Amino acid sequence: MAKAKWSFIFQQLWDFFVKQLKAVLFGALILLGLGLSKYLTLPWLERYDWLLIYVLLIQVILLWTKFERAFDLIAIMIFHIMGMVLEIYKVKFGSWTYPEPALFEIFNVPLYSAFMYSAIGSYIVRIIKEMDIEVKHWPRWYYLLGLSGAIYLNFFTDTHGFDYRDFLYIVILILFWKTKFTFKVGGVVHEWLAVIGFFLIGLFIYFAENIGSFFNAWRYSYQLTTWRLVDVGKISSWTLLIIITIIIVVELQRLANLPLFAKKLKIKNIIKE
């Protein structure tokens, strides 16, 4: 009996790991490219420019192999643009910097950088498919529109000392206190609170950010002379950012299921009452 129990647990963990690995493929390949390019001597172009070519190639291959659909690219590109705007603003005011030169850049921000935000969008899109995720008690879209706007605005205002994220946390708890995600692992349906999922994904991205900064993808001011761990306060920033990402992906899927688009797009409606 005990052996069967441990076998079941191992099967669940292994299936969870494999699905996570598939979902995080884009981000994992970016981190691999960051690591290899740091230690390889690359000819003709700067390292950041080669990384741009590399991430563009990854995106093309994912679409060509149908690992991602054209519809998935909508959410990914929205997050890409939002990330690029945020990068330009943060670099301008010295929140972080890109220590290496680049030919393909905008206002000292190399173009490859926004693909790291795209990788987050890709993860959310993919994990919904891999784990057959459904959402229960999803808040009204107009509340979420206001919340997303407020979170995104806070990323700009906190640069100048006006940080109201504590208020945002209260709003998030009120809006999502009943919201749950159901997902399948090893054929078994599991369920957890949305707010826990937000935090865990934010924590995971924080770990990835430490790897990225170690490979000189970017650096915070306190990392310029000697690399050290990213401030743990960034976990809250990534948690807030992941909430925007999930809202964008879920709401796009809601739009895809409107009568005007449903027959053509054939996107599963993941929102359940």
Q: Per-residue pLDDT for the chain (273 aa), expressed as one digit of tens each?
A: 566 777 777 888 888 889 999 999 999 999 999 999 888 888 899 999 999 999 999 999 998 998 888 888 888 888 889 999 999 999 999 888 998 899 999 999 999 999 889 999 899 989 988 888 888 999 998 999 999 999 999 999 998 889 999 999 999 999 999 999 988 888 888 888 999 999 999 999 999 989 988 888 888 888 878 888 888 889 999 999 999 999 999 888 887 765 545 555 566 677 776
pLDDT at 161: 86
- Asked if residue 181 lies in contact with residue 137, where contact means CB atoms within 8 angstroms, the answer is no
Cα–Cα separations (whole angstroms), residue 32 to 100, 227, 232, 257? 18, 19, 23, 36
Place of tokens 């699905």: 19
pLDDT digits (tens, 9 = 90+) for 224-273: 788 888 888 899 999 999 999 999 998 888 877 655 455 555 666 777 76
pLDDT digits (tens, 9 = 90+) for 39-66: 888 889 999 999 999 999 999 999 899 8
pLDDT at 203: 92
What span, in angstroms and rounded, lies between the C-alpha atoms of 242 and 249? 11
What span, in angstroms and rounded, lies between the C-alpha atoms of 214 and 48? 15
Q: Which residues of 47-75 are buried (b: 16+ CB within 10 A; e: fewer)?
A: bbbbbbebbeebbeebeeeeebeeebbbb
Helix, strand, coil percent content, the chain, rounded in steps of 5:
65, 10, 25
pLDDT at 84: 93
- Asked if residue 63 lies in contact with residue 70, where contact means CB atoms within 8 angstroms, the answer is yes
